[in-house]
Chain A
Amino acid sequence: MSITEMITDVGLDHYLILSAILFVTGMAGVLLRKNAIVLLMSLELMLNAVNLTFVAFSHYGGKLEGQVMVFFVMTIAAAEASVGLALIVSIFKRFREVNIRFFEHLKG
């Protein structure tokens, strides 16, 4: 596959690699950032990358099950975001800070 073909023939591989890049970016955010809200946001990014894979496979495989799964993943992601933010706001009310090192105080 030549370079020009790689640019002009957009196929399943392109979408998969794009979603891999997004997933890895989200993972880097989870590992590197200290702000708990940014951690949650990076997590959402990872979930979205997975959604992209589902839809890409669904399109190129001609099956709709992938889109149903995306529907479910979105619901779970939104539920996770709302519970996570409710937790973070509770922690902020206690410690006036959302840095993850404050989570160490949560034991006992």
Chain B
Amino acid sequence: MPLGGIIFLAVFIAIFGALMLFLGSRGGTRVYDPVKFEPYECGVPAQDKKDTKISVKFYLTAILFIIFDIEIIFMYPWATTFKDFVKSGNGLFVLISMFVFIAIFIFGLFWEVKSKALEWD
């Protein structure tokens, strides 16, 4: 089972990264300057504005991504078994049922494009 190896490697890399961070934090001179610890604003004093504007496009992209991602995942088991289905003579049935699914997918994509949900500017 590769799971043990995966967990081992993940923990190892996390420790390695923490060690690198520790090493990096040891070196270097330390000169205190309050301006240094402000977030980068190209040298201009930071204007503290707390009202973040919600940009619809980011989360709409993420939502549409989830939906299409699942449709693509549904194609994976079909893709692995399609050759076996064709060899056993059921190919046409599976091909058509998948094409119905892909047609729904294409319709959805087409609708998103038409309704300008996929416009970024």
Measured CB to CB, the residues of A under 8 A from B are 74-75, 78-79, 81-82, 85-86, 89, 92-93
Does B54 lie within 8 Å of A82, measured CB to CB?
no
Does A79 lie within 8 Å of B63, measured CB to CB?
no
User: What is the bound-complex CA distance between A100 and B10, given in angstroms?
Assistant: 38
Does A85 lie within 8 Å of B54, measured CB to CB?
no
Chain B residues whose C-beta falls within 8 Å of the C-beta of A81 in the assembled complex = 66
User: What is the bound-complex CA distance between A93 and B52, given in angstroms?
Assistant: 11
Chain B interface residue count: which class? under 10
State which of A75, A85, A92 has its C-beta within 8 Å of the C-beta of B70.
A75
| Any A CB within 8 A of the CB of B67 | yes
| Any A CB within 8 A of the CB of B8 | no
Nearest-Cβ distance from residue A85 to partner chain B, whole angstroms: 7
Does A93 lie within 8 Å of B54, measured CB to CB?
yes
State which of B56, B59, B67, B74 has its C-beta within 8 Å of the C-beta of A85.
B59
Measured CB to CB, the residues of B under 8 A from A are 54, 56, 59, 63, 66-67, 70, 74
Nearest-Cβ distance from residue B40 to partner chain A, whole angstroms: 28
Does B54 lie within 8 Å of A86, measured CB to CB?
no
Nearest-Cβ distance from residue B95 to partner chain A, whole angstroms: 21
Does A92 lie within 8 Å of B54, measured CB to CB?
yes
User: What is the bound-complex CA distance between A16 and B67, given in angstroms?
Assistant: 30
Does A78 lie within 8 Å of B70, measured CB to CB?
yes
User: What is the bound-complex CA distance between A82 and B74, given in angstroms?
Assistant: 18
User: What is the bound-complex CA distance between A79 and B54, given in angstroms?
Assistant: 22
Chain A residues whose C-beta falls within 8 Å of the C-beta of B74 in the assembled complex = 75
Chain B residues whose C-beta falls within 8 Å of the C-beta of A79 in the assembled complex = 67
Known: A85-B59, A89-B59. A78 touches B66 (CB 8 A): yes
